[in-house]
């Protein structure tokens, strides 16, 4: 068997020539969780901004973030927090982006930049882009960092170092703004790739969203069978379901925003499981070994 | 939600009073792979036997094992290798156990012990037990060790240290033999539990076999969608599918030997996925968050 791409793969992976390191006077982080706080720490540690203001729903979290030097100030009022910001980073759960942006758009400064760190891009990017006031530029980002851990306790200035970051401009995007956002992530140590927002969602439905759904489904299936069996889980079960520890709120939003790709993939997976079940019922040893060998080979190609 | 056992849990977990450390003159390892070789190293490092003879299909592997001091001698003839052995360990793929035992049974020494390290017990234990000649005792074992790695290169004298080992006697088992097998695994540092063979298979279908099937199925589903998407796999996908690197031959056998439990579990999982798909189609945010939170909570109970 050759490992080949069975469908044309239209993603274009181009690294733009980036400008020199970006410098921002004021940065506002809308949502100070693992990713938002890590952005703040990465900006500060690299001297890329003067002040960072955090906005969030929980004041205790914001107080902690300020005490730990992650942010300089905080506000419980989103629009207020964005005043005079040169860069606004949307790092709340993706389902809140539209409402959040709607509430702050009138406060956005001319020539400022807005980006987000959401795991879904397809329907969101054009929607957010369309909401921008004249002269304010939105460019979508998706840093492939973070894990099942969450919150500022796990934040780090080097969370993005050596990881992939997708930047998803559209045909309407301002080129200077694209360059600045690429430069920002490269300053954090990310390997930036440019990707079409719709293609992004198709790829990440398979590479990330489906595995999350499956980890949740596997835990619930075993728990519904007999919760006591979970105590016999070895390293295989633990690895396979580690991402079931991820934030339910975050993943609820991601799943709903990437609904069509995911429903199609769940159907494909069910077809595959049906086929495997029928191989098992027919005691088709050769067929099973062929399926498992195929998966082993493909899995071994992942670096 | 309380985490409770929803069904009665009839497993009896009893630690027998074990005898002092077992000592064997000659041990035969039928199948010198990761587990067989680690048994050999564990026996040698603890001074539990005089000589170890290995049997296998590939002479190059046996030569290597001898050169590395894992075994003292080897044979390419199974019956021959078992002559005068005080302990015979079946550590080939589980699907070969019956045939292998059939070929060596006439060579087994009176009062010798036979155990296996297979991941399936229900249908195998009574079958192997029934094949024993008069005065030879078979007791099933299942050390929860090893991983996606395989082969003697990954073998270690401490592979079993601190891990669980299920020992699965029947009502016909000789008590002295049970004690000796328990003592053997405890010498290796395992935490031994006694378990009914049928219950063993029900538990491990859920805690281990289903996750393996699922890891293979997930990789194949993504590969069939577009193999190039695999290169976008992050740590979540990698963890979820790590066990898809496991030996196809080994897992083909395990799956077929635990067929009924697995077919029932695949059906349960499909029901769960159908339910999730319908929550997604109905954009039921609350329902999705409830499902994910339930899984997160149950997953967090696994130590």
- Asked if pLDDT for residue A21 goes beyond 50, the answer is yes
Going by pLDDT thresholds of 50, 70 and 90, the confidence category of residue B145 is confident
Cα torsion angle, B55, B58, B60, B61, sign: negative
Going by pLDDT thresholds of 50, 70 and 90, the confidence category of residue A20 is low
- Asked if pLDDT for residue B9 goes beyond 80, the answer is no
Smallest CA–CA distance from A6 into chain B, residue: B226
Q: Are strands B137-143 and B73-75 parallel, antiparallel or unpaired?
A: unpaired
Residues 221 to 240 of A: which have CB under 8 A from any B CB? 221-240
| Residue A207 to residue B216, Cβ atoms within 8 A | no
Sheet containing strand A113-116, strands side by side:
A73-75, A49-55, A24-30, A87-90, A113-116, A137-143, A164-168, A191-194
Rounded Cα distance between B155 and B35, Å, is 7
Rounded Cα distance between B83 and B77, Å, is 11
Give chain A positions within 8 Å (CB) of B301.
Answer: 230-231
Rounded Cα distance between B175 and B137, Å, is 10
What region does A186 belong to: left with phi over 0, alpha with psi -120 to 50, or beta? alpha
Average pLDDT, chain B: 92
* Helices and strands, counts by H and E, chain A: 12, 8
Residues 169 to 208 of B: which have CB under 8 A from any A CB? 202-204, 206-208
> What is the CATH topology of the domain spanning B24-196?
Rossmann fold (3.40.50)
CA A27 to chain centre: 20
Out of B215, B263, B269, closest to residue A217 by CB: B269
Give the residue among A187, A190, A245 at the shortest CA–CA distance from A215: A245
Out of A233, A293, A298, closest to residue B227 by CB: A298
Same topology, domains B24-196 and B200-300? Answer is: no
Q: What is the pLDDT of residue B148?
A: 67
Half-sphere exposure (Cβ direction) of A120: Cα atoms closer than 13 Å: 28
Smallest CA–CA distance from A216 into chain B, residue: B295
ipTM of the complex: 0.86
Q: What is the pLDDT of residue B210?
A: 98
Q: Does B24 touch chain A (CB under 8 A)?
A: no
- Asked if pLDDT for residue B4 goes beyond 70, the answer is no
What's domain B200-300's superfamily in CATH?
Answer: 6-phosphogluconate dehydrogenase C-terminal like domain (1.10.3660.10)
Residues 33 to 92 of A: which have CB under 8 A from any B CB? none
**What torsion, rounded to 10 degrees, do the Cα atoms B203, B205, B206, B207 define?**
70
Mutate to test the interface with A, among B4, B154, B191, B206 (most CBs of A within 10 A): B206
Q: What is the pLDDT of residue B13?
A: 42
Provide the residue count of chain B. 303
Going by pLDDT thresholds of 50, 70 and 90, the confidence category of residue B180 is very high
Q: Are A131 and A101 in contact (CB under 8 A)?
A: yes
Question: How many beta-carbon pairs under 8 angstroms link A with B?
Answer: 317
- Asked if pLDDT for residue A135 goes beyond 50, the answer is yes
Q: What pLDDT, in 10s, does the model give residues A249-284?
A: 999 999 999 999 999 999 999 999 999 999 999 999
Out of A202, A235, A295, closest to residue B216 by CB: A295
pTM of the model: 0.86
How many other C-beta atoms lie within 10 A of the C-beta of residue A75? 16
Domain boundaries, chain B: 24-196, 200-300
Q: Are A13 and A193 in contact (CB under 8 A)?
A: yes
Rounded Cα distance between B295 and A48, Å, is 40
- Asked if pLDDT for residue A2 goes beyond 80, the answer is no
Q: What pLDDT, in 10s, does the model give residues B154-174?
A: 999 999 999 999 999 999 999
Half-sphere exposure (Cβ direction) of A188: Cα atoms closer than 13 Å: 28
Q: Are A191 and A163 in contact (CB under 8 A)?
A: yes
Average pLDDT rounded to a whole number, residues A18-37: 86
Rounded Cα distance between B179 and B96, Å, is 26
- Asked if pLDDT for residue B14 goes beyond 60, the answer is no
| Residue B298 to residue A147, Cβ atoms within 8 A | no
Average pLDDT rounded to a whole number, residues A183-202: 97
Average pLDDT rounded to a whole number, residues A278-302: 98
Q: What pLDDT, in 10s, does the model give residues B183-231?
A: 999 999 999 999 999 999 999 999 999 999 999 999 999 999 999 999 9
Q: What pLDDT, in 10s, does the model give residues B235-263?
A: 999 999 999 999 999 999 999 999 999 99
Q: What is the pLDDT of residue B260?
A: 97
- Asked if pLDDT for residue B95 goes beyond 70, the answer is yes
Contacts of A260 (CB under 8 A, 6+ apart): none
| Residue B117 backbone dihedrals phi, psi, to 5 degrees | -125, 25
Give chain B positions within 8 Å (CB) of A282.
Answer: none
Q: What is the pLDDT of residue A15?
A: 44
Smallest CA–CA distance from A245 into chain B, residue: B296
- E strands along chain B, which residues? 24-30, 49-55, 73-75, 87-90, 113-116, 137-143, 164-168, 191-194
CA B22 to chain centre: 22
Give chain A positions within 8 Å (CB) of B219.
Answer: 295, 298-299
| Residue A296 to residue B232, Cβ atoms within 8 A | no
Residue A175's alpha-carbon distances to A15, A114, A179, B27, B198, in angstroms, are 13, 14, 6, 72, 65
Q: Work out the minimum CA distance from B38 to partner chain A, whole angstroms.
A: 18
Average pLDDT rounded to a whole number, residues B121-140: 96
Q: What is the pLDDT of residue B2?
A: 41
């Amino acid at each position: 068997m050759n490992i080949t791409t069975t469908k044309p793969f239209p993603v274009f992976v181009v690294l733009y020539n980036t400008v020199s390191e970006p410098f921002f006077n004021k940065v506002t982080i809308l949502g100070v969780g693992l990713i938002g706080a890590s952005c703040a720490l990465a900006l500060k540690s690299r001297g890329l901004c003067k002040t960072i203001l955090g906005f969030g729903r929980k004041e205790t979290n914001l107080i902690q973030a300020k005490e730990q030097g992650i942010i300089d100030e905080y506000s419980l009022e989103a629009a207020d927090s964005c005043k005079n910001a040169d860069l606004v980073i949307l790092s709340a759960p993706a389902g809140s982006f539209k409402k959040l942006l709607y509430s702050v758009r009138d406060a956005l400064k001319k020539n400022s930049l807005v980006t987000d760190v959401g795991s879904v891009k397809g329907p969101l990017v054009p929607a957010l882009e369309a909401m921008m006031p004249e002269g304010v530029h939105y460019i979508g980002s998706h840093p492939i960092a973070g894990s099942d851990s969450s919150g500022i306790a796990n934040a780090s200035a080097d969370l993005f170092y050596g990881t992939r970051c997708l930047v998803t401009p559209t045909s309407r995007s301002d080129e200077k703004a694209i360059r600045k956002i690429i430069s920002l992530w490269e300053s954090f140590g990310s390997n930036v790739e440019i990707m079409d927002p719709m293609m992004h969602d198709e790829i990440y439905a398979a590479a990330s969203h489906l595995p999350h759904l499956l980890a949740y489904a596997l835990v619930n299936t075993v728990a519904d069978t007999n919760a006591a069996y979970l105590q016999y889980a070895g390293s295989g079960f633990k690895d396979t379901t580690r991402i079931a520890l991820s934030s339910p709120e975050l993943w609820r939003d991601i799943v709903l925003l990437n609904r069509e790709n995911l429903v199609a993939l769940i159907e494909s997976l069910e077809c595959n499981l049906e086929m495997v079940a029928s191989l098992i019922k027919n005691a088709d040893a050769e067929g099973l070994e062929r399926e498992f060998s195929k998966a082993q080979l493909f899995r071994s190609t992942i670096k």
